[in-house]
Amino acid sequence: MVALTQTPPSAERLRAVDEFLAETWADQAGHDTRLRDLAVRVRFDQGVAHLTGEVADAGQLRLVRDRVGRLAGVFGVWSRVRVAGRDPVVVDLGCGGTKQYPENLGLDIFPAPGVNAIADLSGSLPLADDSVDVLFAVHILEHLIDFLPLVDECHRVLRPGGVLHVMSPWWGHVNAVADPTHVRLLDVQTIKGVCVQRPPGTPRWHPLHAGCDGASIFADLTPLAPDADPPTPSHLARFFA
């Protein structure tokens, strides 16, 4: 649980932590034979690990994600990795004029440079079932009075093993209330509710990562099949009170 007195780290400290994470990852990848020869590049930016490159299969990508996500100081693990010779389908929801990666497909209710398709995120997404590998919902959920229908739509369009990357202002920081278009306040515990407190029969999620830097919350979620085992208490304890 994030303490109410927590303040975001300074830009100088974030740069130092990124340097530490890069050094630590290079050391770990050099000593772990499973990681040593993988063509995955890991870049740290303000505590978010950005994965690019290529792997032979989805299991290798899961391994890298898991190992990077275990490093102290990592708030999220964002990925655009080519798997088995196929480029991932990556969609930015509500991207405006800025996408997380230039190659992403951008959806927004308003036209802007970088927006590839117009879509109202409070309704159905114009995407087929099981058609997307990665979804970015960066500074989106706080603008929706009820964001659960969008989360359910994300579950529908993600392929098995796909990932939803969430970033939103933390309720305890001034950024959460300074923007009058923000209609929801979120916490890391909100992500726990999405994963384990939904009614039976609703789409289920497994948290790959969740955290807070004192200004924003981060979560990486992967869809669970109806018959899949739920997250274990020990796994949930990594992220949630």
| Per-position DSSP letters for 4-37, written without gaps between them | TT--PPPHHHHHHHHHHHHHHHHHHHHH-TTTTT
Tally of CA atoms within 13 A in the half-sphere of 115 that contains its CB: 16
pLDDT value at residue 186: 96
- Predicted TM-score of the model (pTM): 0.93
- For residue 149, the Cα-to-chain-centroid distance in whole angstroms is 18
67 vs 28: CA distance, rounded Å = 9
Q: Where are the domains of the chain?
A: 11-236
Radius of gyration of the chain (CA): 17
Give average pLDDT by consecutive 10-residue segment, the chain, 241 residues. 61 92 96 95 96 97 96 94 96 93 94 92 94 97 96 97 97 94 96 91 94 95 93 93 83
Max Cα distance, the chain (Å): 50
Q: What is the pLDDT of residue 6?
A: 65
Asked if 218 contacts 212 with a C-beta cutoff of 8 angstroms, the reply is yes
CATH architecture of the domain covering 11-236: 3-Layer(aba) Sandwich (3.40)
CA 209, CA 129: separation in Å to the nearest integer?
A: 24
State the Cα angle at 80 between 67 and 123, rounded to 5°.
115
**Which residue in the block uniquely carries the two structure tokens 């739920």?**
230
